[in-house]
Structure 1
Amino acid sequence: MLRELLRQSNLPVDGKKARLITRLIGNSILAEKKINSEKVLVLSYDDRHNWGKLFLEEMKEIKGVNCSLFNTADEVPDAENVFVYIHPDHTINRENDRIIIEALQNHTKTTFMPTLKELFLYDEKIGQSKEYASWLPKTWFFTDFDCAYRQISLMDFPFISKSNEGAASSNIRFIADKRNAELELKTVFSEKGLPRHDNRKIGLVQQGYVLWQEFLPNNNNDWRVIMMNKKYAWVLKRHNRPNVPFASGSGNIEQIEKLNPMIEDILNFTLDFVNEFDYNFTGVDIVINKDGEYKLLETTTGWASPGYTECKVFIRNETGEWAPSIFKGKDQWLIAALSMDCLIKQKMDN
């Protein structure tokens, strides 16, 4: 039946079921809205992981849509018919990718996935602490030594100290007591600064600021949620490292395959966050506070592909309820293509 529908639409019939469904849905969206797909240009950033290329391979399943890779901001027109996917780097190419992202911030007509705001705040913990203040545990940011020193006497210990950049729990420190807090503060505001970890780049330091955050105890894990276009989502349960209460980078994970009330609550919490900022491609890390409320730790825009392969992709239906789909995490690029297809439809509707 599925292949027959594809034949009737003059579409290829090769591939697994998930790919066939993606092909059928994607092309039917454009056909339904009578969109001249030949006038649509989809650009994808040529990142070092080749994720931009993987995305375009699936995007090309959408019949007639023009697709191309790009390497610089100058290659991205600011036009209503242009749609852009970017996966930024947080390690080797971070500085170059930041230049591109900042150069694109003045685009007002082009549609981006993730949104320009999401991209700008990616791996920027200071920026996130200001923008997402009501969603985070209590957070303090100081660029003045004396102000930070006075705050120490008001802090509950332990608490978390973070550098602005870092992934997999790098550059996150567990401050156990007042003595450790004072020592870190003096080091950060010293002439040499505090060495900042990055095994790909030696000599980085944190200097002239501290970013402190309330520690939420009794969390043996966090929850990573990937949500696209407010419709597709999957969940990873990440257990803490053996020696510190941080889950990111532990490698001890559970890929969520079944929907239950708690997973629904986590998905709806993420959806509420996404709706507030009108995001379209979001990764969030979530824990629970002492009152049983969900709290956001930080956001990301990417994923470690091997970690999500068997996660069930949940789809939000027209009544706003979440339901399991035929897709899994390994179909992430199919889902990304469907999400971009929906963004094209939404743009053309307006």
Structure 2
Amino acid sequence: MLTHRFSVAPMMDWTDRHCRVFHRLMTRRARLYTEMLTTGAIIHGDRQRLLGFDPSEHPVALQLGGSDPGDLAIAARIGEDFGYDEINLNVGCPSDRVKDGRFGACLMAEPGLVARGVDAMKRAVRIPVTVKCRIGIDDQDPEVALDVLARDVVAAGCDALIVHARKAWLNGLSPKENRDIPPLDYDRVYRLKAAMPDVPVIINGGIASLDEAKQHLGHVDGVMLGRAAYHDPWRLLAVDSELFGESAPHTAMKHVFEAMAPYIERQLAQGVRLHSITRHFVGAFHGVPGARAFRRHLAENGVKPGAGVNVLRDAVALVEDRVAASIAA
């Protein structure tokens, strides 16, 4: 059964394989997403480097950037062969590079092309195919644009819609500004769900807490957290208990890091630098006494040649010296 009750958003330069392993140690149930990968990179690039992932990451989805139906089908099939649980098409990224490549949010203006891409991917793979989009772009009327895109891709076989509840302004705003300046319109996503009761609809954009997530779940099928999950990963410790009624893999961040150590050691043995992994830990102890010392120790020592897992253990000890209790509370 395809479930997206809670997921962590695909985020460029952030949700790489190391980040996803870290997140998985805090929640068994969250659906995780790769960074967006272009079809060209997957078809012509180093597939193991781009697509390889740890088995612990399941359920994990591959997000594709592209618009050519044939290329999307090939890339989706490659992703399925690598073992991904879902293929997601990016129709929401507003960066200039994405626009120039005819993928991302600019495809909101070409719903027919998006639908042909979904149809091609559905014919190529057995796993679910989903679409992540905005409510509209530039001068589009979101009431019309979102409905047209949704109807077209669902008719093509799309298994779920993930909607960032903001417009994207491709002319006049930077990608960073597009994450904050266009106003949120959650009600527009609620109306989409009401109009398509049989289609899983997941809401994304500006959601900062699990309490907010619970409120949205009264209107839609799932909630996707982005920056809140990345910058304050401790929030993920409560996902399984709060949203699924199940126990978490670990109840405190110090236990997460203990469980992370064997993975880190394996990666270091393969030539990965410690900082490539620990850079995702900056917000782990946000608001906890000793958090600044933790961050400083990782920043100063994690980048040194030959840095090992003891750097992380020493950084965690700086927090434990000040706080003995679990930070999950």
Same fold, TM exceeding 0.5? no
Name which one, 1 or 2, has greater alpha-carbon Rg: 1
Alignment TM-score, normalising by the size of structure 2 = 0.29
More strand by share: 1
